[in-house]
Amino acid sequence: MKRRKIAVSQAIWMALICGAVMAWPAKGADQSGRELMSQFGQAFEALQPSAPGSSVNSDYKIGQTALGTFYTTKTLGLIYDQNQELTQKYDRMLERYDELIQQNKEIIRLLRIMAVEQPEDSP
């Protein structure tokens, strides 16, 4: 009976955490990685029982595991957002390089025209 109670408790914990992870938006741009890790550390430590031999909150390791999953998801969302921003910056930079290449080609074309039109004996 006691094992069944623990299994039900673990299942409830996991269902709650999985629901929270899925409901949590992937936006993390408003939060830095350091802030996220600091919050995780505080929440992780808060789940540990106050007395080492206490049976109160004895399933804290399941909560810590679920919390780790939750913060891993938040961190991946933050990394994804940062990657999107970086990709957009690289795309803008590539567009600028393409413009420069086109401008250089036009300059070369005009210089060739000028070289052909210029008389050979003028300084």
| pLDDT, tens digit, 9 for 90 and up, residues 8-59 | 556 565 555 555 544 454 444 456 778 887 887 777 777 776 666 666 666 7
User: Could you give the C-alpha distances from 63 to 5, 21, 53, 76, 102, in angstroms and in order?
Assistant: 16, 13, 18, 20, 58
pTM over 0.85, yes/no: no
Q: Is 122 within a domain? A: no
Give the residue ranges of DSSP H helices in the chain: 2-23, 33-46, 60-117
> What is the extent of the structural domain holding 78?
2-117
Q: Is 48 within a domain? A: yes
Rounded CA separation 91/72 (Å) = 28
Q: Is 95 within a domain? A: yes
Q: Is 59 within a domain? A: yes
Structural domains counted in the chain: 1
Rounded CA separation 13/31 (Å) = 26
pLDDT tens digit string along 61-99?
787 888 888 888 888 888 999 999 999 999 999 999 999
